[in-house]
Each structure stands twice: as structure tokens, then as C-alpha cells.
Amino acid sequence: MDAFSVSQGDALALLSLNLSRQAFDSYLVFFGLWLTLIGYLIVRSAFIPAVVGVLAMCAGVCYLTLLAPPLAGYLYPWYLAPDVIGEPVLMLWLLIVGLNPRRWLQQAGAPGP
């Protein structure tokens, strides 16, 4: 004895797929907000070049277009173009160059090593 008929099982599977897509879009909106704020903080700081922050902010704004699904659908895949540059630049800067500890201590007012 099955709990669902075949058509009910198919409808339930389709519902799960649609909810998964909407949940992922919601995640991307929050990630875009985070990326925009991090980019703003990078621009205001003196530890990472402002260009990296501006690129991160542009990448975040790309994800925030998902707040208007018709606009995002119309602009897809072009609204993701700045993200292709912004996120990798931030990631590579943090991985390769990182943070200068002397500059950090100097900014904090602590005695250097």
C-alpha cells in the first residue's frame, strides 16, 4: 500500500524542486548583502586596496538583483558578469597577499613586533 499515488508523488517532487530553487535564491540574496557590506568595509579600511572592495560591492549588488525575480530573469546571465571578477579578486587577494600585521598593529595603536 503506497502513501501517495504516482501523480501525487510527482507533484511532491516538483514542489520540492521549486522550494529548493527559491531557498537557494534566498541564500544568494543574503550572500549578496554580506558581500556588499564586506566590500564597503574594505573600501573604508586601509588594509586592502579600495579597488578590491569596490569589486566585492559590485559582485554583491549582482546577487541583490534576485530580490526582483522578473528583473533577474530578464538580465540573466548578464547580471552575474561583475561577480565573475569581484569574488575571485577578493578571494585571491586574501589567499595570496593577506593582511599586513605591522599595518594592523600600527592602526590599532599597539607596539609592533
pLDDT at 79: 86
Tell me what pLDDT residue 1 has: 47
pLDDT reading at 16 higher than 80: yes
53 in a domain, yes or no? yes
What is residue 86's predicted lDDT score, i.e. its pLDDT?
92
The residue type of 26 is S
**Residue closest to 62 by CA, chosen among 28, 20, 22:** 28
Mean pLDDT of the region 75-99: 90
Total domain count, the chain: 1
Confirm whether 2 is domain-assigned: no
Domain ranges, residue 78: 10-108
Enter the C-alpha cell of residue 52.
578590491
pTM: 0.77
Question: For residue 42, what pLDDT is reported?
Answer: 93
Q: Is residue 113 part of a domain?
A: no
CA 3 to chain centre: 40
Q: Is residue 100 a contact partner of residue 39, using CB atoms and an 8 Å limit?
A: no
Residue 48 lies in a domain: yes
Cβ(51)–Cβ(59) below 8 Å: no
For 28-85, what is each residue's pLDDT tens digit? Answer: 999 999 999 999 999 998 788 899 999 999 999 999 998 998 998 899 889 888 889 9
DSSP structure string for 7-21: HHHHHHHHHHHHHHH
Residue 51 forms part of a structural domain: yes
Task: Give me the amino acid identity at 101.
Answer: P
**All cell numbers assigned to 60:** 554583491
**Residue 4 falls inside a structural domain:** no
- Cell readout for 16 is 520540492
Whether 88 maps to a domain, the answer reads yes
